[in-house]
Amino acid sequence: MLFESRLRAGIHDGSISVAYRRWKRPQVRVGGRYRVGSDRIRSMTEFDFIEVDAVDEILARDIDDADAQLAGYPSAAAARSDVGAQDAADVLYRLAFRKIDMPDPRAELASSVALSVGEIIDIDARLDRMDRSAKPGPWTREVLREIAHRPAVRAKDLESCSRWPDLATFKVQVRKLKNLGLTLSLPVGYRLSPRGAEYLARSSR
């Protein structure tokens, strides 16, 4: 779940427990658990997770100063402005949440090296689908191999980055590999996770 970086310390210490969103319909559910934080490797085991306790439809005028402070704003006016409310009658969603302790499933996945034949086949199939849906053509193994040979290199300096329209698009693609537990983000660049290295070593693709 996306939050401004300035809010993350408050989410971590519990002083922020409310968020406002201007949605057409709710994008989160009560009881849902969501990851908050940076993708950098130094925070890989330090993500904060929140559980949503309430999702209420409100009007912009319903926000008061005390509630706005629970969302990290100095005043109700600041909260309404930041969320983009143009009128006091604009419909917003108020989310109440709390920080919970749980491991990041991506970190656990990335550290797993005991890949079965079935898991190798499953990763192959997932990467094949990603290759087929990409306009530049097959790219997943190329990126994995380049990251293996050039860890900690800036994303824009990777040769495989040049196949994409811009740096942001390339980073989105690499994040898909990370979600499969195959790569890790470094303060600069990437490296293969233990799972990614094991996959490359054993896959025949």
H-type alpha helices, the chain? 8-13, 65-70, 76-83, 105-110, 117-133, 140-149, 167-179, 194-202
Sequential pLDDT tens for the chain (205 residues): 889 889 988 999 999 999 999 999 999 999 999 988 654 434 444 578 999 999 999 999 999 999 999 999 999 999 999 999 999 999 999 999 999 987 777 777 888 888 999 999 999 999 999 999 999 999 999 999 999 999 999 999 999 999 999 999 999 999 999 989 999 988 899 999 999 999 999 998 7
Cα distance between residue 205 and residue 199, in whole Å: 10
Cα distance between residue 205 and residue 201, in whole Å: 10
Residue 204's pLDDT is: 81
Residue 41's pLDDT is: 38
Q: How many Cα atoms occupy the beta-carbon half-sphere of 11 within 13 Å?
A: 26
Tens of pLDDT, residue by residue over 17-70, are 999 999 999 999 999 999 886 544 344 445 789 999 999 999 999 999 999 999
- Domain range annotation of the chain: 5-102, 106-202
Q: Quick count: other Cβ atoms within 10 Å of Cβ 27?
A: 12
The dotted CATH code for 5-102 is 3.10.400.10
Q: Quick count: other Cβ atoms within 10 Å of Cβ 6?
A: 9
Token digits of residue 139: 């790219």
Residue 39's pLDDT is: 46
Name the CATH code of domain 106-202 (choices 1.10.10, 1.20.120, 3.40.50, 1.10.3470). 1.10.10
Cα distance between residue 80 and residue 22, in whole Å: 10
